Chains A and B, each alone.
Chain A
Amino acid sequence: MNDMKMNGMETIDPVWAWQPYQPSADQTWDRRSAAHLFRRAGFGTDLARIDESVKRSPADVVGELVAGNQEPSEFRSTAEALAEATLAGGDPAKLSAAWVYRLLYTPNQLLEKTTLLWHGHFSTGAEKVQDARMMWNQNQLLRDHALGDFAAMVHEISQDPAMLIYLDSAINRKAHPNENFARELMELFCLGEGNYSEADVLELARCFTGWEIKNKKFRKNRYQHDSDEKNVLGQTGAFDGEDGVRIVLEQPAAPLFVARKLVRFFVCDEPSPSDAMLQPLADLFRESDLQVAPVVQRILGSNVFFSSMSVAQKIKSPVELVIGMLRSLKATTNAGLVADGLLSIGQGLFYPPNVKGWDGGRAWINSSTLLGRANLMADILDNDSTRFDGKSLSEYLRGQDVETTDQAIEYFEHCLLAVRLSEEAKAQLRETAASHSGDRERRMRSLLHAVTSLPVCQLC
């Protein structure tokens, strides 16, 4: 929103932007760029994996990340078994912790990150749906298609009980078409405001008449379907809901709208790229029959992704901050603590703020969430269940040959920060560390708390 300075996104050549990144003297493939890739394509990884990736080509590493587009069945069954226990209780609030488990342990970070993207995109809140299993089923739907077929995802979400309940569209009668789902399908899911008229909303709503949720299941009530002719986005026919979704997805605005979302999610918060900049991605998305993976692969392997227009040009979401710290240090902790903490700082899983999902970027940040971020880190680092590769933090760091305060500052910088610390900033951290009493473990945890609370650590 604020004093937005051009960072070049408007002026760069769209062709160059999306061409494959070739490491060069200006843009080296090193720890920093590899860590950037892992932070954006997931939540972050430990230094050993970063160093191992630097020895391979960036395209190779990106290819491997994108190829992990389905969960290994073993991991899925463990995650499911854990979720079943919470589903039995029926409390959707507990589901957040089940998702945190996935975020902490998944071998497919890009798949999980993209699932989180779609959760915000097809925003649905458990607060209103009040049914844990419906929310969980929707989450699986999003995961199944996260790096797959966007059209299939939209078709399924249009019949998803949680979504339709969330949008007050569980009943949709011929005499009174419900506009809500039709409007959000165009405004928020596929086209964006301005790419349809109010008349299109009314006509599209007629296509969905008779679609309802009965006994927690989707069904088509043919007695309530308006089978007359409709005029939707310039097409005329006796359309039903599937036709309606198809027509919306056929609009030229659709691939551009989704490309914009993907670029904002993976590349930078601001400024918003021009249509011309996005067009190559939109074209690729259309040519790939709206498959998500090719576009994501193109983005993550591109010149612009590894340029200064992207590195450190996003503000970490709460999930990126917390899960990022944990995964970068091979840490595990109490999933419930993380889930509740994420809600308190603005990103409750299964609890997006409204139908638009999370705005992200600067909207993550205000005095309250900044204090909350620091406090959540304090809670996690004070918690006995927080272990680093099964060890205490000081033992873990010792295993990485990190003994002194200076070495720890440098280690955390490599793992957690998108921007190098200046000498003065390091001196301030040293001073802060020196003021801490307590044993080595206590001091290392305090230092980690300080680093994660710095403004610079909120950058991704």
Chain B
Amino acid sequence: MQISTNQSRRRFLRSSIGGAAAIGVGANLPSCFAQAASGSGGSDERILVVVQMSGGNDGLNTIVPYADDDYRSARPKLAIPSDEVLTFDDDNGFHPSMTGMHELLQDGQFAAVRSVGYEQPNRSHFESMDIWHTCRRKDEPRPDGWLGRFLDQQPVTAGGDVPALHLGREQQPAAVASSSIRVPTVKELSEFQLRGNDKQSLRKLLEKRQPTSTAGDNQLLNFLQSSTTSAIAASQRVTEAAQGYRSEVKYPETDLGNKLRVVAQLIDAGLTTRIYYVQHDGFDTHAQQAQTHSILLRQWSDAVSALVRDLDDHDHEKRVCVMTFSEFGRRVSENASAGTDHGAAGPMFLCGGGVKAGITGKRPNLTDLQEGDLKHEYDFRQVYASVLKDWLGTDPTPILGKQYKSLSLFA
């Protein structure tokens, strides 16, 4: 997997900073949007922001067991020096890049669960990611994702705001695939509207369903038609929602920072969207890991902590939780290229004013491994169950397929 360093992506980042402000205001506000725009606050329902660390985050260098000799001997090149670790107890601390998270922990807005994974871990990025997204193994049908199933249960608000939004240029994650709802993917707000000389007439044409002779039995065409009408509707609402946002918080000028700033804008605009999903790519650190991982963790820690601060300033801190996960951790022993190969269990993170701050789970046992990888102490569905039950207020069992024991992660 690639590390996000290409020029066009960097240009995209820069251009999207001004992007939201540069959007022109439509003359007419669609009626469904009027409530939110008039400042009545829209919804007060709780919101989940998911940050996906793609590629397999090295959990051992994220929450560092710095006092463990086995850690130092497994990582002759990659172990974080003890005096650089941002400690939170006598044995454990954060990677030095994670100052933002360290402060959030001290402020009671950070929780982590260590050694999260699942039975018979799969070490393929795609297969493991699919397992995290759908909660199902390969031999079972997987038409939807866990968040998609959550969305399926929510009451439909016709013409309302999109129930979930994926921000980014990547492919849409299977976690938000649903049998009833099309979740939009938005790369950049300024691109999320029609342009050209004939955009008005084209919008009129595309916002209605086009009758065709064969649509009834062509499933792909049905899919394309509903995707098109929802794209046009979502474009109108999202564009208008982002107007006039002001923030004192300085977000890092990174891809993730920009995306999370847009999330804050949309939340503050009163969108009733309950799920936001962003990806942070590049964690597949097979070679020369130290610097890359340090940058990635800093980008993540700075951006997520900026979002939490910004939400605090706008009085949304009690209704937004940011959950971070990765498809697997990495091998305990470093490889010959000063990197780490695909592993198994790793930590998950929850940030925001509603979490019960602290670290759940024991220090990973580095001597009791399975094929060189950490064993899991918690199934990832236990964390999902806690989020669904205690945060989103729904019964997790039908969504997760069976009952998982939830953890005490929220205040």
Contact = CB atoms under 8 A, between A and B. Distances in A.
A453 B202 contact: yes
Nearest to B12: A344
Nearest to B127: A193
Contacts of A128: 2-3, 5
Interface string B183-197: 111110001111111
A88 interface: no
B227 A366 contact: yes
B365 interface: no
Nearest to A382: B196
Interface residues of B, number: 78
Given A180-B286, A366-B172, A459-B221, A168 B337 contact: yes
Interface stretch (A61-69, A137-145, A355-363): A355-363
B143 A1 contact: yes
Contact of B202 (A4, A363, A449): A449
B213 A194 contact: no
A351 B6 contact: yes
A432 B227 contact: no
A70 interface: no
A2 B126 CA distance: 18
Interface in A404-460: 419-422, 424-425, 428-429, 432, 435-436, 438, 442, 446, 449-450, 453-456, 458-459
Nearest to A179: B341
Given A168-B339, A363-B171, A355 B1 contact: yes
Given A193-B124, A375-B194, A455-B224, A421 B212 contact: yes
A354 B2 contact: yes
B214 A419 contact: yes
Interface residues of A, number: 80
Interface in B205-220: 205-206, 208, 210-214, 217-220
B40 interface: no
Given A3-B179, A355-B1, A436-B198, A455 B336 contact: no
B7 to A, nearest CB: 7
A429 B202 CA distance: 10
Say whether chain B's binding surface is mostly helix, strand, loop, or mixed: loop
A126 B179 CA distance: 36
A435 B125 CA distance: 50
A260 to B, nearest CB: 15
Interface in B79-131: 122-127
Interface stretch (A31-39, A226-234, A308-316, A385-393): A308-316
Interface in B162-205: 166, 169-172, 174, 177, 179, 182-187, 191-199, 201-202, 204-205
Contacts of B127: 193
A419 B223 contact: no
Interface in B325-357: 335-337, 339, 341-342
A127 B204 contact: no
A439 to B, nearest CB: 12
B205 A371 contact: no
A87 interface: no
Contact of A428 (B170, B193, B208): B208
Nearest to B6: A127
B16 interface: no
Interface in A265-317: 269-270, 312-315
A378 B210 contact: no
Contacts of B7: 93
Given A362-B223, A367-B184, A453-B206, A175 B336 contact: yes
B174 to A, nearest CB: 7
A422 B185 contact: no
Interface string A149-190: 000000000000000001010010101101110010001000
Interface of B: 1-9, 122-127, 138, 142-144, 166, 169-172, 174, 177, 179, 182-187, 191-199, 201-202, 204-206, 208, 210-214, 217-221, 223-225, 227-228, 230-232, 234-235, 284, 286-287, 335-337, 339, 341-342, 371
7 contacts: A127-B6, A176-B337, A183-B342, A353-B170, A363-B171, A366-B183, A449-B202
Interface of A: 1-5, 7, 93, 125-128, 166, 168, 171, 173, 175-176, 178-180, 183, 187, 193-194, 198, 269-270, 312-315, 340, 343-344, 346, 348, 351, 353-356, 359, 362-363, 365-372, 374-375, 378-379, 381-382, 419-422, 424-425, 428-429, 432, 435-436, 438, 442, 446, 449-450, 453-456, 458-459
